[in-house]
Each structure stands twice: as structure tokens, then as C-alpha cells.
Structure 1
Amino acid sequence: MSADAVRYLVMPNPYLSDGVLDVRAVQPADIEAIRQWRNAQMDVLRQTAPISPEQQERYFAEHVWPQITSLEPSQVLVALERAGVLIGYGGLVHISWSNRRAEVSFLLTPELEKNTDELIALFSRFLDLMKQLAFEDLGLRRLCTETFEHRTRHVATLEASGFRCEGRLREHVLIDGKPTDSFTHGLLAVEWKNGQ
């Protein structure tokens, strides 16, 4: 990591790795690729309109970069790399420090999202790294997710990774004009520690 690289003050380790997947703070050079991935996969995100390059720059300038030095950022956005190549991003979002909880966010390149076996393997590895970051490094006590029902591979991977389905939000979102359910999943730090 270069001396001028963006690094979250709250992250004791600038890199987390399991030997295959590496995560590090999102860098300015990453945000255009992230914008393109988000625009190409709006059906799995809470995003309702394409993001322009200017909107992306403004969002990061106003909401991400100022939080890098915070001891209680509302989000910790990380880039996912495999063999030094950027393949996705995600992190911990909607962090509530008073309640010590966060939501897990995850998005791969559109090409990797289409490869079922690779997607499942990478998502599982990412979840393990986020558990380490949340529970060991940040001292959070709970992680949660929201997943649209058509992402069946993601739901199965969450459950295989120890997340429990906590509810189904019926017709919670409209995707291509069609009412779609969402699943909520959660994992407690104590469950994770007991399962290790």
C-alpha cells in the first residue's frame, strides 16, 4: 500500500486477506469501475437511476472521503482484489456505533456475478473477511443483510456462512416494475465466535 493511499483510521489492518481474496479501503482510482458495475446491476441494488461520473465523484467527496479519519464512520467501503486485480467492492454500511451493528454490502463485476461457482466462493470468502473486520477489529456485535429474492445464490451463501434468515419483506421493492420480496439475514458476534 502506497504512503498516500486512502486508509480508514478505524481499520487496524489496512489489508485483510485469506490468501485468495484481499480487501482494502476503496481508493479514488476504484470509483469509476464501481460506478460502472453499479449502473450495470441496478436490479440487485437499492439504486433507482444510473449514476453519472460527476455524481459518483460528488458522493465520494461528500460521504466517503471525509469519514476516512473518523473513529466512528457510518460506512467502511472496501475494494476486493484477487491476484492484484480489482474484482468488486463492498463493506460495512449503515453502521450504528451506539448499537454496534452494521449491514454487509457486496458487489462483484457483472462477469463474476454471472459465474455461479466463482460467485459463491468469492462471496463466502468476503463474508469471512467482513466477520473478522466487524467482530474482531471493530468490536461490533451484529451484522445484517438485505437480499432481493431473485438472488438465490446469495441467500444460500449467507445461510451457509452462518447468517440466519430473520424475515421476509413481502413485495418490498419494485424491480422492473414487478413487486419483489426481500430477505433479511443476521449474524451475532457471539454466534460467530461459538461457531469457530
Structure 2
Amino acid sequence: MIYKCLRKQIFSQDSYTIVPIRMEDRFEIMKWRNEQIFHLRQDRLLTEKDQNVYYDKVVRSLFDNEKPNQILFSYLENGKCIGYGGLVHINWIDKNAEISFIMETSLEKQYFSKHWTTYLALIQKLAFDELNFHKVFLYAFDLRPHLYPVVENAGFLKEAVLKEHCLFEGEYKDVVIHSKFNKC
């Protein structure tokens, strides 16, 4: 499927590519989301039925929308899906969006920095070069401090800390927001 809102659908760097989210990847994505629920805005484990309903009712409608509220991609290494993400909570008027990304759980320990760095480069091509957005940002529960150096090395600046903004395992945690502006 292709996004009506995009002229260019595929973004690549070396052996890595983001392509419009593929139906065939939905159960792997569900598995990773369930394994990494602790840092996602997801309140329960997903089932295959949940995932099918989400793809049929939400994802399919994104492709024909001129201004969808999210644009989702499968993240591929040599054609194999190893992650997914996109631009979410898109504000078409102010030309900004939140960046979303998760990778295959088994890659997190050894390749976290590599895949985040590659993915951020690819998603910025979409946001800044294709859509001409003004700003992109990451909204992260303060549970993975190893994320911050990676995004800061990619040129994102720590813009805000929302103190005690989310409840996690009975404790309130901060949310850290990193942003990057289009410097075209």
C-alpha cells in the first residue's frame, strides 16, 4: 500500500529502509510491543485479534487520507522487518509530529544506538525533506536514559521535562521531550 499524502514512499540508507507499514509485519510488531510495553503508551497486552482489528480499522484508513494523524513504517534490514515506527500525533497546521520507533527486542542490548541513529536519519528525510515539517520530537517516559545520548548525538535538543507525568508501576515518572527543527 502507498500513502496518498506522500510523493516518495520509501527511504533508504545503506541496507536499511523504511517502507509504508506492511500487513505481513503486524504480528512481529505486536510481539515487540507486548515485550516492551513498559515504555509504550499501551495499557495491556495485545492479542492477534486486537492487532487485526487495529490494522483493518485504523491502519488501512491512513493510506487514503490526505492528512492522516499518523504515518507508519516498517523498518527493514535487507528486506527483513526489524522494527517499526513513524510520525504520530501529526499536527498538519503547525507542521510538527512526534517520532515513534521500536525495534526487535533481541536487538536492543547490542544494537540500540545503531538502529535508533539509522531510523532517526530515515524518519527525518520523511519529515523534513518530503513533508517539509518544521519540527519533530520524541516523547519518552524517563525509563530508558540510554536513549538520550543517542537522540542528542542525532542533533535533537532536550526541550522539556514534564515532571511526574506518567504513572509506572505505582510511581510517577518524568517524561522527557527532545526536539529537532528543520534547518532547510
In structure 2, the partner of 1:3 is none
Do the aligned residues in 2 keep the contact of 1:147 with 1:155 (CA within 8 Å)? no
In structure 2, the partner of 1:152 is 145
Under a length normalisation based on structure 2, what TM-score does the superposition of the two structures give?
Answer: 0.95
Q: Deviations over 1:143-185 (max 9, x none)?
A: 0111122211211111111111111111211222222111011
Gaps of 5+ in 1: 1-5
The count of residues paired between Structure 1 and Structure 2 equals 184
Q: Deviations over 1:106-145 (max 9, x none)?
A: 0001111222xx1101101111111110011012111011
Structure 1 vs Structure 2 CA RMSD: 1.2
Match of 1:79 among 74, 78, 81: 74
Distance (Å, rounded) in 2 between the aligned partners of 1:146 and 1:20: 27
Distance (Å, rounded) in 2 between the aligned partners of 1:180 and 1:153: 16
In structure 1, the partner of 2:60 is 65
Could you list the structure 1 runs, at least 4 aligned residues long, displaced by more than 4 angstroms after superposition. none
In structure 2, the partner of 1:89 is 84
> How much identity, in percent, do the aligned residues show?
29
Query: Helix, strand or coil: the match of 1:145?
Result: strand
Task: For 1:159, give the aligned amino acid.
Answer: E
1:169 partnered with 2:169? no
1:139 partnered with 2:136? no
Gaps of 5+ in 2: none
Match of 1:39 among 34, 37, 43: 34
Of structures 1 and 2, the one scoring higher in RCO (CA 8 A, sep 6+) is 2
